[in-house]
Chain A
Amino acid sequence: QKEVEQNSGPLSVPEGAIASLNCTYSDRGSQSFFWYRQYSGKSPELIMSIYSNGDKEDGRFTAQLNKASQYVSLLIRDSQPSDSATYLCAVSNRNTGFQKLVFGTGTRLLVSP
C-alpha cells in the first residue's frame, strides 16, 4: 500500500464547475496535509495546507480533512482553464519524524472552456 495515493486522472471538468480531487493516506499518525499545484514544466506551488479535521476555505479552494477515514480532498469552485494542472497531495507523518513530506503521484486536472 502506498503511503499517499491519488487517482492519476485526468479529471476533466467544464469551466465553471466544481472540481473534486481526492487523496488517501496510510499512516494514522499523519498530522499535516498539503495540496500543491504543478503546471507542466514548472515547480510545485503550495496552495493549501490543513492540519485539523473539517474544512478550510481560501478563495475558490476548499481543503477537507477526515482523519478517521484517512482522506483529504481539495475542491475547486468555479473552475477555470487556468486551473488545469497536476495537483499533488503531500503528508507529514510520524514515520518521517514530521521532518519530511510524502507526496502522492498527483492528479491531472483538465478544465475545458
Chain B
Amino acid sequence: NAGVTQTPKFRILKIGQSMTLQCAQDMNHNYMYWYRQDPGMGLKLIYYSVGAGITDKGEVPNGYNVSRSTTEDFPLRLELAAPSQTSVYFCASRDKVSGPYEQYFGPGTRLTVT
C-alpha cells in the first residue's frame, strides 16, 4: 500500500513550457486534491475532485487544468508555465466513507519556472 504518490519529485521548466504533474493513490479514496505551497505560506487549494469524472476549482485555479478519468489518478496540467507557478505542489486524498475529512498527502513536487 503506497498511499499517495507523486511524480516527478523535482522539475525545472522554462517560461511558456507545459507539463503534467502526476498523482496516484491506491486507497480507493473518492476525494482527491491539488495544493500549492509557497515559502512561508499555507496550502492553497488549486483543484479538487469528489470522484471519477467530477472536478471543481479551488482557491487558485488559474493557469492549471485537471482531469479525473479513474479513481486512482488525478493529474495536474500546467499550460504556459510562468514564474508565479514556482512552488511546491502537493496532492492529497480522502476517503468519503471513513475518517471524515482527514486528508492524506503525497510527498510533493518541487517546481521551478525560469
Contacts and interface: CB of A to CB of B under 8 A. Distances in A.
Contact of A101 (B41, B101, B106): B101
Task: Tell me what chain B mostly uses at the interface: helix, strand, loop, or mixed.
Answer: loop
Contact of A103 (B31, B42, B101, B108): B42
B90 interface: yes
B58 interface: yes
B40 interface: yes
A8 to B, nearest CB: 7
Contact of A44 (B31, B100, B105): B105
A43 B105 contact: yes
- The 4 closest A-B CB pairs, nearest first, are A105-B42, A43-B105, A103-B42, A103-B43
Given A100-B33, A100-B48, A32 B101 contact: yes
A49 interface: yes
A105 B41 contact: yes
Interface string A8-39: 10000000000000000000000010100000
